[in-house]
Amino acid sequence: MNEYDSNRIYDLTSIIGYKKTHVKKDADCFVLNTCHIRKKATEKVYDEIGRVKKDFKNLKKPLVVVSGCVAQAESEEMIKREPYIDMVIGPQSYHKIGDLILNYERKKEKINETKFDVIGKFDELKKIPNSQNKISSYLTIQEGCDKFCHFCVVPYTRGPEYSRPFVQVVDEAKNLISNGAREIILLGQNVNAYNYNKKYKLSSLIKALNNIENLKRIRFTTSHPKDMTDDLIDCYRDCEKLMPFLHLPIQSGSNKILKLMNRKHDREYYMSVVEKLNKVDKNIKISSDFIVGYPGETDRDFEDTMELVEKVGFVNSYSFIFSPRPGTPAAVKKLTNLAESEIRLKKLQNKLENLRYRNNQKYLKQHCEVLIENKLDNQEEFFGRTKYMTPVIFKSDNCKAGELANIKITSFNQKNLFGISKNNKEKAA
């Protein structure tokens, strides 16, 4: 979502005359769009500001803006801790960035703008065409969360669940497609909770997008198991553009831990969703997120997670050691021994890597459909992704970005597949 927001922040600043530069020292303004999901992400912000300070030591100080969830959660503290910051703007008020910069240029007074104004934000954004022109483009449809998992900051930094108007989303999708997008990834902190006016759900949006000419692939992320309703699951059967790959975080395989996390589902419920998905499309694959060493996690709980991972056969998953986020209920709980958590994380990541390897191995000598995203800098190879998001690097002399190509996989490693384009699928058709 930060990638989507960063692009929109750029669209907003370009109205007041700013342009992107790839030469750091040429910049008059830095906008650091931040993530607060883990402590490491927060510290990265200060590291980056330190680098800017160093680069501009003997130059005119640039305007430094911190936006995003760290700005929302730690606004006052940030301005105190790092006087080099001129402005903090929360994720629900960045639509005001143009006016705020102009104000700052006039008054030179520090600005702290962290109001929750999500309706105002999207009302403003709809007036400004999205300039994103990637083959695979993000499109935010929903923000915020009402689930309050005990480890998560999202409900505090992004606010309550909000769904953008249906027509506004479809219009923006058409805009992105006219810019060249061939894949749209619908975004939300709790994307499958999308519900506009109690009439339009995520399934309605997928069906509408499925009918748009020139769009080839649809994805959505991130979903909560509780909101995987039957109408949405049926889209995997009925909408051919919806890719058979779903990121569905479970966080832990232990019912005790899921309860402590306030996840509002147990492993049996999660497995029932997986079964339903497999029923509508036997080729569907699932990835997940895991938190290791959550307060109260024992070896037995961890083994439950390991067992569930094998059972579902997750692909491309993410796993982290629990990171206490200030202000969340889990932040005050007794931490699991770090050395123990590190051992568990390694075990889990080995297993996930093995699953990924086994999955990539299946492609060897097979043909697979790849959406071509770009030509690599070496000008000889292309980059694209399979239906399951696996990166593919391949050689071809007759391919173009945005096309679906039929690629023969000749080798692979842990992360990528490598191959050669036999024929261009669309031309052959």
Q: Which residues bind ligand SF4 (CB under 6 A)?
A: 145, 147-149, 152, 154-155, 189-190, 224
Report the 10 Å Cβ neighbour count for 46: 16
CB of 379 to ligand SF4, least distance (A): 41
User: Cα(47)–Cα(82) distance, rounded to whole angstroms?
Assistant: 11
Give residue 46's Cα distance to chain centre: 22
User: Cα(324)–Cα(158) distance, rounded to whole angstroms?
Assistant: 18
CB of 174 to ligand SF4, least distance (A): 28
CB of 75 to ligand SF4, least distance (A): 20
Closer to ligand SF4 by Cβ: residue 98 or 225: 225
Nearest residue to 177 (alpha-carbon basis) of 132, 138, 215? 215
Cα dihedral sign, 386-391-394-400: positive
User: Which string of b and e fits 103-132 if b means at least 16 CB within 10 Å?
Assistant: ebeeeeeebebbebbbeebbebbbeeebeb
Tokens of 108: 């030179």
C-alpha dist (Å) from residue 278 to 235, 247, 285, 293, 312: 13, 14, 9, 30, 11
N-to-C CA span, the chain: 36
Closer to ligand SF4 by Cβ: residue 148 or 357: 148
Closer to ligand SF4 by Cβ: residue 164 or 217: 164
CB of 327 to ligand SF4, least distance (A): 13
Closer to ligand SF4 by Cβ: residue 11 or 289: 289
CB of 332 to ligand SF4, least distance (A): 17
Closer to ligand SF4 by Cβ: residue 142 or 396: 142
CB of 226 to ligand SF4, least distance (A): 8
Closer to ligand SF4 by Cβ: residue 146 or 353: 146
